[in-house]
Amino acid sequence: MKSFAALLSIVSLALGASVLHFKEDAAQAPMTLPMSHPSFDLDLNEVRLVELEGQPPQWMTELDKVHLKAKGVNFLDITEAQDLGTVPRIQAFASFPKPNATEKVKPILKTLSTDGPRANLEKFTSFRTRHYRSETGRQSQQWLYSKISEITAESASKALRKLITVKEFPHSWGQNSIIVRINGSSTTDNGVVVISAHQDSTNMWPFLPAPGADDDGSGTVTILEAYRALIAADFHPVRTVEFHWYSAEEGGLLGSQAVAKEYEKNSAKVIAMSQFDMTAWVKRGTREEVGIITDFVDTGLTQFNMDLVDTYLDIPYVETKCGYACSDHASWSKAGYPAAFTIESAFENSNKNIHSANDRIDISDEFSFTHMLEFSKLAVAFAVELGGWTEPA
C-alpha cells in the first residue's frame, strides 16, 4: 500500500503542481498542506471539532477528516452543533403501528417509474463533483431545487400546492439543504414525518471528480420519485410530511445536524425520520434485498420499516449494520428523535465504487434503477402509513 505522502504526490501530478503542495521532513513529521482548487472554498488546514464513537470530541483539521474517511472511520463534525441533543425528548409512539393503509398505498406504487429517476440522475451526476464546498456542488443543489419546484408545479393539484412549501435551508458553506413540506390537515400538533437523503458527493481526495451516482445520487432521486408520485396522487396527509435533501453529509453530517438542531430548538415534534443513502447497487451473485440498518437506530421504527417491506415491496429485507454516524439518521438520533436507515443491500455487499470517479451509472450492470424503485415504494409507504390520508374538500 502506498504511503499517504506518495498518494498525494500522484494526486499533485493529476491536479497540477500549482494546485497542491506538501512538505514532510526526514523524521516523517506531520504534513502541512496548504491546498486549494479554483472551484473550491476548502482549507484543509482549517480546524474542526470532530466526534468519534465512544470518544470525547477532539479538534482536528479538514485534512485529518480526509484521513478518517480514507480509513473508513465514521464521524460527526460538531463544530457548529455542539449542543445538539441537549433537549430531553419524549417518544411520540410507545410503539409504531402495523401497516394498514394498503388501499391508499398500493395504487400509488403502480405509478412509480424508473424514467424520472434515470433522467434526473443522469443530470445530477453530470456535475464534476457535488462536494459541499465546491462551485459545482452549489450548482447541483440549485439544479435540484429547481427540479423539485418544477415537479411540484407540474404534478400537484392547485389545492395541494397551497399546502406545499419548497425551501432552502441555508448553510455558511454555500450548498444549502432543501426541505419540502406537505402540511397536514390536523388542527393539532400531531408531529412531522421526515423522509431524507443527502445530495452531496465526494471523492476520497476532495478535489478530484465525484459523480456520486450511488452515494447518494440514488437516494436523492429515489425519494424525489416518491414525492412526485405522492403529490400526483393528490396526497393530503393528516400529519405533516417533509422531504429533506441534506448538504454536507460527507463532511461529517453537517447539513442534517444543522437542520436537526433547528428543529430541536423549535421543539418540533418529529415522530419519525427515515434516511435513504445508496439504493441502486445489487452485487453480482447476491439476491436483491433491502438492507435495514439495526445499529444506532430506533428499534421500533426499524421494525416498522421491516413491516413495510414485507407488506409493500417485491423483495425481502436483510438486517445489517453500518457503524456509528454512518449517515444522516445519526443527527436525528442524537437529537433524540426516532430515526431509521435503509441501504441497498447487506452492508458488506454495498457498492465499493463510492467516493471515487467510478461511482457512475454506467460502471456496471450491478447499478439498477429497478432496484431503486423498490426504495421509492418504501418511501411512499412510509409517508402514507405515518402521515395518514385525508380526502380533499
**pLDDT > 70 fraction of the chain, expressed in percent and rounded:** 90
Render pLDDT for 111-131 as a digit per residue (tens, 0 to 9): 999 999 999 999 999 999 999
Nearest to 273 by CA among 250, 304, 251: 304
Residue 350 has pLDDT above 80, yes or no: yes
Residue 3 has pLDDT above 70, yes or no: no
Predicted confidence band of residue 387 (pLDDT cuts 50, 70, 90)? very high
Active site members: 198, 215, 249-250, 277, 355
The amino acid at residue 18 is S
Distance CA 330, CA 33 (A): 31
Q: Which residues contact 391 (CB under 8 A, 6 or more apart)?
A: 236
Check residues 23 and 316 and name the one with the higher pLDDT: 316
Distance CA 190, CA 195 (A): 17
Domains of the chain: residue spans and CATH: 4-77 (no CATH), 102-387 (3.40.630.10)
Render pLDDT for 54-73 as a digit per residue (tens, 0 to 9): 999 999 999 999 999 999 99
The C-alpha torsion from 280 through 307 and 242 to 248, rounded to 10°, is -40
Q: Residues 9-13: what's their mean pLDDT?
A: 40
H helix count then E strand count, the chain:
11, 11
Q: Which residues contact 96 (CB under 8 A, 6 or more apart)?
A: 272, 300, 301, 303, 304, 386
Output the pLDDT for position 297.
97
Give Cα separations from 205 to 97, 196, 273, 351, 367 (angstroms).
44, 26, 31, 18, 23
Render pLDDT for 202-226 as a digit per residue (tens, 0 to 9): 999 999 999 999 999 999 999 999 9
Output the pLDDT for position 19.
37
Residue 29 has pLDDT above 50, yes or no: no
Point out which residues pair with 241 in neighbouring strands: 182, 193
Residue 91 has pLDDT above 90, yes or no: no
**pLDDT > 90 fraction of the chain, expressed in percent and rounded:** 86
Distance CA 249, CA 197 (A): 9
Output the pLDDT for position 94.
63
Residue 25 has pLDDT above 50, yes or no: no
Nearest to 229 by CA among 135, 117, 67: 117
Output the pLDDT for position 87.
84
Q: Residues 284-302: what's their mean pLDDT?
A: 97
Distance CA 200, CA 195 (A): 16
Buried b (16+ CB within 10 A) or exposed e, 46-77: eebbbbbeeeebeebbbbbbbebbeeeebbbb
Q: Residues 5-23: what's their mean pLDDT?
A: 39
Residue 264 has pLDDT above 80, yes or no: yes
Strand order across the 47-51 sheet: 58-61, 47-51, 76-77
Point out which residues pair with 272 in neighbouring strands: 193
Provide the pairing of β-strand 290-293 with 270-276. Answer: unpaired
Output the pLDDT for position 393.
73
Distance CA 197, CA 219 (A): 5
Output the pLDDT for position 30.
43
Give Cα separations from 106 to 86, 242, 290 (angstroms).
40, 21, 19
Largest CA distance in the chain: 76
Q: Are 225 and 376 in contact (CB under 8 A)?
A: yes
Average pLDDT for the chain: 91
Question: Cell 426516532, residue?
Answer: 338
Q: For residue 312, which phi and psi values (nearest 5 degrees)? A: -120, -20
Burial of 220 by CB count in 10 Å (0-12 exposed, 13-18 middle, 19+ buried)?
A: buried
Q: Which of 31-45, 264-278, 379-393 has the lowest mean pLDDT?
A: 31-45
Output the pLDDT for position 72.
94
Render pLDDT for 142-201 as a digit per residue (tens, 0 to 9): 999 999 999 999 999 999 999 999 999 999 999 999 999 999 999 888 999 999 999 999
Polymer length of the chain: 393
∠ CA 275-379-287, nearest 5°, is 85
Distance CA 150, CA 224 (A): 12
Predicted confidence band of residue 92 (pLDDT cuts 50, 70, 90)? low
Distance CA 290, CA 310 (A): 11
Output the pLDDT for position 33.
42
Point out which residues pair with 180 in neighbouring strands: 166, 243
